[in-house]
């Protein structure tokens, strides 16, 4: 279903956003693949109550446990269905809200399919930007927006700029991109706090995008870079977090209100437990780092849930990076991705339990990230100076 008019879209979005709290969990189950079908794999999931957000896990044909989420997407659901429910969160970044969307789950369950998608079936990342530009078009004359995108990866507790790694010298259209790229390739990217609730990665390329052609170019560049420097692209992607950050500067032309907000789109590393005895050396370090960042994410979410005075954002690069958008005044959506195959049952149960823990959290009201124009100007200045410093190094 495609929502046509601006009015219908607004009504539809409001209806979804009226739901209480600001952490949502959507569960998505991939279909059995050809190999599994040929082998006659048994399905471990019942989707009878999927419409009410329920699914039941079966073991040996018997119901074992029922889970409830904000939405459940069975193996038949498509990218359009999924995006329809995701859009209200993603696009609220235009109204000045910080938003964080994750895909969590075992490797091979469809995290990348949901977020990135394929050429034939594009995922949340592309569709979100498409929808943002659609709405920006509708709001022309009343609002003015500036959109930029960063694509990065957290691998072994290091931040890598995928727009830099994916840009071939000479191939980049925008000179700014290349200049910044040269400055940062050699330097390690670090997270800096530049103000109350404002974290920033100096040197990270922020590509301005004005239309979907430019978006496509940026997404492709990032996507190509994921494989760089790894012998097996699939293995690499299951051990790293791939992150798209969409930065929005908005100005209400009628009352002068300025907003500055971020939307994070995160394809997390595979959540599967790897027996420590099975891996050694470099692999062991990777495994420990993945476990560390995913458990740090769990700890942050738990601490938020119990309203703990200390939220351990700094325990991993991932949570540190997302700090501004994981706090109490932003919106969070987690896709828990699962396999229907009974052979994967124990990993599936781990993921579903984690997701239930996440869903149990209720945060305070969300807050718009409103800024005065004056402050915005100073921040822009700081950023430019920082970039200059990097160039001079």
Burial 197-234 (b: 16+ CB within 10 A, else e): eebbbbbbbbbebeeeebbeebbebbbebbeeeeeeee
- Please, which residue, 240 or 325, has the CB nearer to Mg ion? 240
Would you count residue 330 as binding ligand ADP (CB under 6 A)? Answer: no
- Please, which residue, 9 or 111, has the CB nearer to Mg ion? 111
Would you count residue 337 as binding ligand ADP (CB under 6 A)? Answer: yes
Would you count residue 332 as binding ligand ADP (CB under 6 A)? Answer: no
Binding test (CB under 6 A) with ligand ADP, winner from 113, 126, 313, 354? 113
Q: How far apart are CA 34 and CA 193, in angstroms?
A: 48
- Please, which residue, 116 or 371, has the CB nearer to ligand ADP? 116
Q: How far apart are CA 102 and CA 115, in angstroms?
A: 8
Q: Which of 207, 212, 203 is nearest to 246 (CA)?
A: 207
Would you count residue 106 as binding Mg ion (CB under 5 A)? Answer: no
The site map against ligand ADP for 69-108 (x = CB under 6 A) is ------------------------------------x-xx
Specify the stretch interacting with ligand ADP by CB under 6 A; choose among 34-42, 110-118, 217-225, 380-388.
Answer: 110-118
Q: How far apart are CA 386 and CA 204, in angstroms?
A: 11
Q: List the binding residues for ATP.
A: 105-112
In degrees and rounded to multiples of 5, residue 283 shows phi and psi of: -60, -40
Would you count residue 109 as binding Mg ion (CB under 5 A)? Answer: no
**Closest chain position to ligand ADP (CB):** 110
**Three-state DSSP class for residue 143:** strand
Paired tokens of 106: 């075992």
Contacts of 92 (CB under 8 A, 6+ apart): 13, 17, 99, 331
Query: Which residues between 256 and 315 bind ligand ADP (CB under 6 A)?
Result: none
Would you count residue 112 as binding Mg ion (CB under 5 A)? Answer: yes
Binding test (CB under 6 A) with ligand ADP, winner from 21, 31, 298, 312? 31
- Please, which residue, 111 or 160, has the CB nearer to ligand ADP? 111
DSSP 186: S
Binding test (CB under 6 A) with ligand ADP, winner from 74, 88, 96, 110? 110
Neighbours of 346 (CB within 10 A): 11
Paired tokens of 155: 């691998």
Q: In angstroms, what is the C-alpha Rg of the chain? A: 21
- Please, which residue, 81 or 146, has the CB nearer to ligand ADP? 81
Q: How far apart are CA 137 and CA 68, in angstroms?
A: 37
- Please, which residue, 30 or 320, has the CB nearer to ligand ADP? 30
Query: Which residues between 226 and 245 bind Mg ion (CB under 5 A)?
Result: 237
Residue 160 binds which of ligand ADP, Mg ion, none (CB < 5-8 A, kind-dependent): none
Sheet harboring 54-59: ordered strands across? Answer: 45-46, 54-59, 62-68
CA dihedral 101, 79, 347, 299 (to 10 degrees): 10
Q: How far apart are CA 239 and CA 157, in angstroms?
A: 11
Q: List the binding residues.
A: 105-112
- Please, which residue, 31 or 197, has the CB nearer to ligand ADP? 31
- Please, which residue, 21 or 31, has the CB nearer to ligand ADP? 31
Would you count residue 111 as binding ligand ADP (CB under 6 A)? Answer: yes
Q: Are 343 and 367 within 8 A, CB to CB?
A: no
Minimum distance between the CB of residue 104 and Mg ion, rounded to whole angstroms?
A: 11
Minimum distance between the CB of residue 121 and ligand ADP, rounded to whole angstroms?
A: 7
Residue 30 binds which of Mg ion, ligand ADP, none (CB < 5-8 A, kind-dependent): ligand ADP
Find the largest Cα–Cα distance for the chain.
66
- Residues lying near ligand ADP in the complex (CB under 6 A) are found at 30-31, 105, 107-113, 238, 337
- Residues lying near Mg ion in the complex (CB under 5 A) are found at 111-112, 237
């Amino acid at each position: 279903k495609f929502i046509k008019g601006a009015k219908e879209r607004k009504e539809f979005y409001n209806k979804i956003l009226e739901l209480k709290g600001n952490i949502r969990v959507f569960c998505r189950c991939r279909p059995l693949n050809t190999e599994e079908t040929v082998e006659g794999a048994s399905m471990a999931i019942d989707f009878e109550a999927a419409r009410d957000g329920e699914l039941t896990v079966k073991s040996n044909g018997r119901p074992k446990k029922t889970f409830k989420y904000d939405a459940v997407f069975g193996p038949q659901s498509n990218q359009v269905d999924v995006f329809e429910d995701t859009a209200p969160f993603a696009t609220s970044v235009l109204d000045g809200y910080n938003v964080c969307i994750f895909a969590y789950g075992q490797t091979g369950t469809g995290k990348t399919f949901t977020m990135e998608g394929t050429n034939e079936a594009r995922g949340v990342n592309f569709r979100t930007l498409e929808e943002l530009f659609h709405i920006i078009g509708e709001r022309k004359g009343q609002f003015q927006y500036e959109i930029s995108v960063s694509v990065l990866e957290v691998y072994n507790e290091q931040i890598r700029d995928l727009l830099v790694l994916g840009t071939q010298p000479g191939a980049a259209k925008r000179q700014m991109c290349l200049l910044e790229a040269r400055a940062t390739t050699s330097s390690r990217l670090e997270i800096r706090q530049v103000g109350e609730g404002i974290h920033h990665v100096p040197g990270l390329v922020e590509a301005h995008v004005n239309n979907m052609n430019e978006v496509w170019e940026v997404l492709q560049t990032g996507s190509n870079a994921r494989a760089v420097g790894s012998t097996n692209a699939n293995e690499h992607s299951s051990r790293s977090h791939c992150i798209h950050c969409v930065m929005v500067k908005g100005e209400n032309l009628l009352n002068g209100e300025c907003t500055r907000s971020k939307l994070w789109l995160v394809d997390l590393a595979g959540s599967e437990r790897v027996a420590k005895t099975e891996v050694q050396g470099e692999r062991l370090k990777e495994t420990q780092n993945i476990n560390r960042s995913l458990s740090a994410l769990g700890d942050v979410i738990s601490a938020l849930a119990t309203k703990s005075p200390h939220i351990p954002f700094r325990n991993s690069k991932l949570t540190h990076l997302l700090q501004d958008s994981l706090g109490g005044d932003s919106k969070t959506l987690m896709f828990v991705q699962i396999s229907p195959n009974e052979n994967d049952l124990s990993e599936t149960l781990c993921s579903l339990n984690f997701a239930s823990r996440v869903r149990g959290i209720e945060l305070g009201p969300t807050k718009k990230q409103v800024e005065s124009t004056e402050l915005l100007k100073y921040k822009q200045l700081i950023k430019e100076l920082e970039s200059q410093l990097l160039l001079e190094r």
